[in-house]
Chain A
Amino acid sequence: GAGVSQSPSNKVTEKGKDVELRCDPISGHTALYWYRQSLGQGLEFLIYFQGNSAPDKSGLPSDRFSAERTGGSVSTLTIQRTQQEDSAVYLCASSTAGSFNNEQFFGPGTRLTVL
């Protein structure tokens, strides 16, 4: 596609429910990143995928968060037993390589609200 796409654009859920957020990176980009941005805050790095290598999960805030990337393309971020503090915009980005020296292209984000 022309750019990084994410779905849904908005998600409202009840505390304790599981949610899945999807990211479609730019075709041909091997690196994919997930970030979280709380209101008025900077971006918090969550997880990074590079090709078929094991992901760097060091930024995940708790074991309720997990992510996978199927076929080196689409990625899903899953949050189990959501809490109100999980409310934020979740941004996905992709780049041509994973050395973190490349420009990252961001998707429009998914705004998650946990009631």
Chain B
Amino acid sequence: GQNIDQPTEMTATEGAIVQINCTYQTSGFNGLFWYQQHAGEAPTFLSYNVLDGLEEKGRFSSFLSRSKGYSYLLLKELQMKDSASYLCAVSTSTSGTYKYIFGTGTRLKVLA
């Protein structure tokens, strides 16, 4: 089957670094996305990885290892506004049929 696993909740301190892990088991891997979702709001795009390695974008970085079915999102210099859910999503394609599978999300709480 197709499966994505993320921790349910994490807590970190303002100014710290936090790493949110995502493991996946899918067929026809087509890329991995991270989205941020504040409570009561729609998800917004953070990053996209299709090749192995680290993609850096400001305070946020995302890493992918396709052989291990593993990704992480790294948030540096945490701010209170980073308190949100972080959704890992995998794009898959099988026999020309595309799917977008989301994990249940990791709720991050940033404490002062």
Q: Residues on A close to B: CB < 8 A?
A: 33, 35, 40-45, 48, 56, 58-59, 91, 98-101, 103-109
Q: How far is the CA of A45 from the CA of B4 in the complex (A)?
A: 14
Q: Residues on B close to A: CB < 8 A?
A: 4, 30-31, 33, 41-45, 48, 50, 87, 89, 91-93, 97-105
**Residue of B at shortest CB range from A103?**
B45
User: Are B99 and A100 in contact, with the CB atoms below 8 A?
Assistant: yes
User: Are A100 and B98 in contact, with the CB atoms below 8 A?
Assistant: yes
Number of A-B contacts (CB under 8 A): 59
User: Are A42 and B98 in contact, with the CB atoms below 8 A?
Assistant: no
Given A48-B98, A56-B98, does the pair A42, B104 have CB atoms closer than 8 Å? yes
User: Are B43 and A101 in contact, with the CB atoms below 8 A?
Assistant: no
Q: Which residues of B contact A107 (CB under 8 A)?
A: 42
Given A43-B87, A91-B42, A106-B42, does the pair A100, B97 have CB atoms closer than 8 Å? no
Q: Which residues of A contact B91 (CB under 8 A)?
A: 100-101
A45 interface neighbour in B87, B101, B104, Cβ under 8 Å: B101
B31 interface neighbour in A91, A100, A109, Cβ under 8 Å: A100
Closest Cβ–Cβ distance, residue A89 to chain B (whole Å): 9
